Amino acid sequence: MKHADGTVTAPIDLFASAVSRAGTRQPQGRVTALHRPGGGITFASTTGTDMESRGLRSTIRTAGTAMEENGPRIPVTVHAPDPISRAGVVSQLRQYPVVELVAEPGDRPASMVLMLITETLDETVLSRLRQLVRSGGMRAVLVVSLVREAELLDIIECGVGVVVWRHEATAQRLFQAVLAASRGEGHLPPDLLGRLINQVRTLQQSAVSHVDAPPSGLVPREVEVLRLVAEGMDTGEIAVKLSYSERTIKSVLHNLTTRLHLRNRAHAVAYAMRAGYI
């Protein structure tokens, strides 16, 4: 959305469609500059080196002070796997007056930002994100060390709009992430955005190739998975055989059993055999 003063912002709910239309990216680019006439904020591209400059630090702090004077503070709650990681992030954010660091209150304000720090993603972390973002209405910033290919779409599906690599988590970068999340904007590191674009493109191509498949039938990948299930392979063995993640195999089986109203894997194999797929 373009504001009267020329500032352009993008809500998270438009992020997925923007990803699918994206064509190029700047490998070294990063949204870092924060400045707008009248004390507001706009994002401009710069580099990791620039982000550490004294001028940028001053600009960010000035923007934070202006926000505190002209509007409400941003409530932020920090979740981390250990006290040391949490203390480090809290210490970095505390220098910005606009950030109001809070514990987990019983009644979370709609504008609260959740900053979740983790090394890797697993089902426990993803479930926690879904619960806090969807049920609690919080806006999430994920600070993570590693994201696997199979987890990219999971992150977006959980409602996360802002991702920061742990090795890039300076005070300035974390503050920018809080600002973006509080405004409902989305931001991914350039390398992660490129991988997500490729995944979306692959999904689009897959959808086109299966456009003629009957709603009650099976698509080729489902047939492959069920054939291996019929041979006695478990989820891990099937994932290795087909070069997918275990999460993907579980998702395939869950989706087809739900769509076809089947009770379990054995029922799905029986259905495929009766229908002549295997």
Whether the pLDDT of residue 242 is over 60: the answer is: yes
Question: Is the whole model's pTM more than 0.75, yes or no?
Answer: no
DSSP for 34-70, written as a single string: E--TTS---EEEE-HHHHTSHHHHHHHHHHHHHHHHH
Domains and CATH numbers, the chain: 12-197 (3.40.50.2300), 214-274 (1.10.10.10)
Q: Which residues pair with 162 in a beta bridge?
A: 141, 187
CB-based contact 142:113 (threshold 8 Å): no
Cα(first)–Cα(last) distance of the chain, in Å? 51
Whether the pLDDT of residue 188 is over 80: the answer is: yes
pLDDT in tens, 204-224: 665 555 444 445 578 888 889
Q: Closest Cα to residue 184, out of 158, 160, 156?
A: 160
pLDDT in tens, 124-171: 888 888 888 876 678 899 999 998 877 887 888 788 889 999 999 999
Least confident of 29-38, 53-62, 221-230: 29-38
Position 205 scores a pLDDT of: 65
User: What is the spatial distance between Cα 137 and Cα 114, in angstroms, rounded to a whole number?
Assistant: 10
Position 207 scores a pLDDT of: 53
Position 33 scores a pLDDT of: 36
Whether the pLDDT of residue 68 is over 80: the answer is: no
Number of Cβ within 10 Å of residue 24's Cβ equals 6
- According to DSSP, residue 152 is labeled H
